[in-house]
Amino acid sequence: MSMRKNGVNREIRPIEGGICAPKGFRANGVLCGVSIGNDLALIVADERYPIACIRSDNAFVTPCGNLLSQRSKDGKARAVFFNTGIANVCVTGGERFASETRLSLAREIGCEASDVLLFSAGEVCGSFPLDKIKEKITPLVCGLTDGESGNVAAKEGVCLGRAVSFAYAFELGDFSCKIGGIASVAPRLSGGVNASLVALTTDVNITPELLEKAFDSAYKDTFGLLGRRDSPFDGAVIFSSQKAGNCKISVADGEYKKFSDALFKVCEKIAKRLAVGEGERLIEFCVCGARSKQLSRALAKSLADCFAVKRDFKENPHLSELLSALGAARLPIEIKRAQIRLSSDSGELLIMEEGAALPYNLSQCKKILASSEIFVRIDFGQGNFSSCSWARV
């Protein structure tokens, strides 16, 4: 019987299972002893699956990040390991520590060392608890499970301060596909985040090259815009078990777009959840009408990273701070056609038109800004590219 070509993509919907929701993955987390909760996490695939990863661009990237470039050239791997208590950064012998950790994990799992990816984050203190970590590798591997307990334990092991686990399902033609994962950020007092770790799994049948293409774009437009400079700890990874049964996505056609759109929607939902803590309010900056995607991303990120802008939007927006943040980015933009609009579930307010500030009703403005979600839309009217960033107010 021939397989039907993947059909129209429906909306993503939440499901149970977290990182283990797609078939083919097990997870676990344990306490190493250098922090209060679990500080080690491991996600293992049943066999070598396509994988895509993103490492930090920071000059002080961890030795674990450097090892990511040494993974198998066919774009496949077996396991991803996280330690989040003490970071392997600026540590004498850090490269050796990373290599020994990877070798120990590979022996216990039963795979090649190049099939194990490492991510390290946490406190930078000049020492690294290699012996403690190696002692926990056996129980970490032995406790792997595809159930909810594995997802919960791994979530705690990846946590940098605020973490979520999640899973969503969507359709490609007759086939139900899943994306699960764990994501964590270290919140910053100014409203942004200091670092982020993201681990995703999916069962969509797709080539390693296109998996990487879709993930790179989704990450840059979501987690990459959470309002902070790149941290040495930043890292993200996605596995594909290819068990959904859909026709293999091997070219960047309409089928690829359906998957990449679903992946982006999942990443966007989770990035927004990570941007705010419980009881905090969310502000979304949408920069549109830019000449390029790189420009819209840079401008959106500069707004989410500016403490003065977020401070002002608590009660009364001052255009001076907003324009200062945009101008300080020193990017090729023009303000003469710009339109700026505030909105929430309490209404909408235009505060700039054709580059000119407009008078507005202060009481209406305060009503809009009192909502749990605030939206700031800046349209430069110079192109077709847009990006959104998020932060807490």
Q: What residue segments make up the domains of the chain, in order of their start?
A: 13-275, 282-392
Continuous segment of H or E residues that includes residue 327? helix 319-328
pLDDT at 190 over 50: no
* Rounded average pLDDT over 317-344: 83
- The pLDDT value recorded for residue 187 is 62
pLDDT, position 64: 53
Report the mean per-residue pLDDT for the chain: 85
Pick the CATH number of 282-392 from 3.20.20.110, 3.10.20.340, 1.10.760.10, 2.60.40.1220: 3.10.20.340
What torsion, rounded to 10 degrees, do the Cα atoms 322, 324, 325, 330 define? 140
pLDDT band at residue 296 using 50, 70 and 90 as cut-offs:
very high
**CATH number given to 13-275:** 3.60.70.12
CA angle 324, 186, 100 (to 5 degrees): 130
Q: Is 62 in contact with 87 (CB distance < 8 Å)?
A: yes
Is the pLDDT reported for residue 37 higher than 70? no
User: Where residue 70 falls among pLDDT bands split at 50, 70, 90?
Assistant: low
User: pLDDT band at residue 8, thresholds of 50, 70 and 90?
Assistant: very low
Residues belonging to the chain: 393
At 157-181, the pLDDT tens digits run 888 777 889 999 999 888 999 999 9
Q: State residue 71's pLDDT score.
A: 57
**Average pLDDT for 82-104:** 81
pLDDT reported for residue 50:
94
Mean of the pLDDT values across residues 47-68?
A: 72
pTM over 0.75, yes/no:
yes
pLDDT of residue 173: 82
What is the H or E stretch that residue 78 is in? strand 76-83
Copy the structure tokens of residue 292: 């390029």
The pLDDT value recorded for residue 55 is 77
